Chains A and B, each alone.
Chain A
Amino acid sequence: EAGVTQFPSHSVIEKGQTVTLRCDPISGHDNLYWYRRVMGKEIKFLLHFVKESKQDESGMPNNRFLAERTGGTYSTLKVQPAELEDSGVYFCASSQVSGFIGELFFGEGSRLTVL
């Protein structure tokens, strides 16, 4: 069974440009999460989808970040316009609706570098 896959693995963009990160969760997992780790900091929660609905987006830093999960399958996280402080690793995770919250399966992350 395929795990959580994320694309791209690494993106380098200029300040002010737009980047879209994609996450494909494990098939059948209704819960999808975005987390990120900026340099020297802890992994921080961004938001949580249940199917196509945003359950909790309290961790989204500002309105330059837009997450979508159309059809309840894959999700995208768009940063527009990107700022220097957005650099970091963006992790996606998924879990089954019936599972314990901690049984998150993480992807390998998308590393974003904003120059």
Chain B
Amino acid sequence: QKEVEQNSGPLSVPEGAIASLNCTYSDRGSQSFFWYRQYSGKSPELIMSIYSNGDKEDGRFTAQLNKASQYVSLLIRDSQPSDSATYLCAVRVGAGNMLTFGGGTRLMVKP
């Protein structure tokens, strides 16, 4: 079992729709959770972090964390073609300094 799992996609949604990206993790000691966006050939860019159960909203983005079920999700409202990218889920276990990444989900927003 992978430590952090994501559906590789592609996830295709029409412009203006809600894109829902999911991530599950195996280590119950995981403390911090992050979503990175990566355009092809570019650097991963942090878009959301979440540390406690529940929802966290930032603009069109909402991160949701459920530690009991060991999943974290990212919702993108009013999806735009410019949101088309690979979204990486990353997890920090305990007080360690490393992030464990999922394989990423490729999102395609069609005009």
Taking a contact as CB atoms under 8 Å apart, the answer to whether A56 and B97 are in contact is yes
Q: How far is the CA of A59 from the CA of B36 in the complex (A)?
A: 21
Stretch with Cβ within 8 A of A (4 or more), from B13-21, B42-50, B65-73, B76-84: B42-50
Interface size on A, residues (CB 8 A): 26
- Secondary structure of the B contact surface, majority rule: strand
Taking a contact as CB atoms under 8 Å apart, the answer to whether A102 and B99 are in contact is yes
Interface size on B, residues (CB 8 A): 24
Q: Given the complex, which residues of B lie within 8 Å of A48, measured CB to CB?
A: 97-98
User: Which of B34, B44, B46 has the most chain A CB atoms closer than 10 A to its own CB?
Assistant: B44
Name the residue of chain B whose CB is nearest to the CB of A40: B103
Binding site for B on A (CB under 8 A): 3-4, 31, 33, 35, 41-45, 48, 55-56, 58-59, 91, 100-109
